[in-house]
Structure 1
Amino acid sequence: MKPQDIMKEKSNLWIFGYGSLVWKPGFAYKRSNIGHIKGYKRRFWHGDDFYRGDKEKPGRVVTLVEDEEACTWGVAYEVTDCQIEESLQYLNMREVVLGGYITQMVEFIPKEKSQGPLLALIYIATSNNPIYLGPASDMEIAAQIAICRGSTGHNIEYLVRLAEFMRLSCPEVEDEHLFSIEAAVQNIISDCGGIKPPDQKPMLLGAT
């Protein structure tokens, strides 16, 4: 189902971001809320051959994997009126056409206790996607992230920005998968004296 079909006759929409959308939504919105969704875990199992990698060396970015015991933290953005169509058109290109994601509606629970649950749109890359990479060890994922870059920058930047968001916005949450990969990349950088992409200065973990 297309996002536009979901939102017929709606005056507002919440869009939940759990990857690059947490720091770069790329569309106009009315307000945002930090919070989480249940029943999904965030995993670096999706390939990216455009934004954070290329055809020869696809990067690793996050998707959601169903898990009844898990929850995933991120940011929900409220879009209203004309913002709805504009944001969906933008995300259809960014996430669906180029990223291979599908859409679903889920319950979003704001971190702010004074607000109740909201229905939010999410984008998920499944194993049916041609560039889906699937499970791998933390070291294997880190090794791939350390050498990949795409049209919007190095794959390490994507990892670092996501880890920084979690530490700053959700300090009480221990995202084991994310932080383990971050630590593994840190070890690779330390061993190599810094990752140096073509025509770039050495990249240090924590640089943005």
Structure 2
Amino acid sequence: MKPQDIIKEKNSLWIFGYGSLVWNPGFAYKRSKIGFIKGYKRRFWHGDDFYRGDKEKLARVVTLVEDQEACTWGVAYEVTDSQIEESLQHLNMREVVLGGYITKTVEFIPKEKGQGPLLALVYIATSSNPIYLGPASEKDIAAQIASCSGNKGHNIEYLVRLVEFMRLYCPEVEDEHLFSIEAALLNIYSDCGGIKPADQKAILVGAT
């Protein structure tokens, strides 16, 4: 589904974010809701050669992988009227042109009680993308994250912010993949005697 097809005859649209969009959507919106989508698991399987890495050293960022038994937590943003086209133009450049993501429509289930499911647009990177990295061990992913930096900052910051979101807004959810990579990264820094990623003052300097 193309963004230009989505905006036809619509005055409201929900956009689901599960990576950097949870803390930095980068577009104006009417309201937001925390919740989840079913049938997908979040994985650090996509490469990034611009925001958190470069052409010489690809960073690791998240995408969604189909899994009927899984669910992924994040934030859905409602954009209305002129915000729709503006947000899609922004995301088309950020996620499609620079990130290599495609768009799909999914059912979003808000965490707030009494709220029914909503249809939302989501951006997903697939294995057909040239910079798609695919699966690796948590230790190898953590090592790659520890060594990469791009135009938006260090790859560690990306991981830390996602961990912070899950622990703050979804404390009841055990995101095994995400937390295992965090643990592996902590072990790397502990073994090296360096600053641990938990020291946010050091890691998030200059964060946007």
Q: Give the TM-score of the pair, scaled to structure 2.
A: 0.95
Deviation at 1:4, TM superposition (A): 1.8
CA–CA distance in 1 between the matches of 2:2 and 2:63?
18
Deviation at 1:6, TM superposition (A): 1.8
> Which residue in the other structure is 1:79 paired with?
79
Over the aligned positions, Cα root-mean-square deviation in angstroms equals: 0.9
CA–CA distance in 2 between the matches of 1:120 and 1:137?
31
Letter in 2 for 1:175: D
Q: Is the 8 A contact 2:145 2:155 kept in 1?
A: yes
Deviation at 1:205, TM superposition (A): 2.8
CA–CA distance in 1 between the matches of 2:182 and 2:199?
10
2:133 alignment partner, SS class: coil
Deviation at 1:192, TM superposition (A): 1.6
Q: Is the 8 A contact 1:160 1:206 kept in 2?
A: no
Q: Is the 8 A contact 2:16 2:74 kept in 1?
A: yes
Deviation at 1:3, TM superposition (A): 1.1
1:100 alignment partner, SS class: coil
CA–CA distance in 1 between the matches of 2:166 and 2:39?
19
Deviation at 1:193, TM superposition (A): 2.4
Segments of structure 1 that go 5 or more residues without pairing to the other structure are 195-201
Deviation at 1:204, TM superposition (A): 3.5
> Which residue in the other structure is 1:193 paired with?
193
1:76 alignment partner, SS class: strand
> Which residue in the other structure is 1:57 paired with?
57
> Which residue in the other structure is 1:99 paired with?
99
CA–CA distance in 2 between the matches of 1:16 and 1:23?
12
CA–CA distance in 2 between the matches of 1:206 and 1:72?
26
The 5-angstrom pairing of residues 1-208 of structure 1 reads 1-194=1-194, 204-207=197-200, 208=204
Q: Is the 8 A contact 2:186 2:196 kept in 1?
A: no
Q: Is the 8 A contact 2:185 2:197 kept in 1?
A: no
- Change in Cα spacing, 1:180 to 1:203, as seen in structure 2 (3 Å) is closer
- Change in Cα spacing, 1:204 to 1:68, as seen in structure 2 (3 Å) is closer
Deviation at 1:7, TM superposition (A): 2.2
Percentage identity across aligned positions? 83
Deviation at 1:203, TM superposition (A): 6.5
Segments of structure 2 that go 5 or more residues without pairing to the other structure are none
For residues 136-187 of structure 1, what are the alpha-carbon distances to aligned partners after superposition, in whole Å with 9 as ceiling and x for unaligned?
0000100000000000000000000000000000000000000000000011
Letter in 2 for 1:53: G
Q: Give the TM-score of the pair, scaled to structure 1.
A: 0.95
Deviation at 1:206, TM superposition (A): 4.3
CA–CA distance in 2 between the matches of 1:108 and 1:4?
21
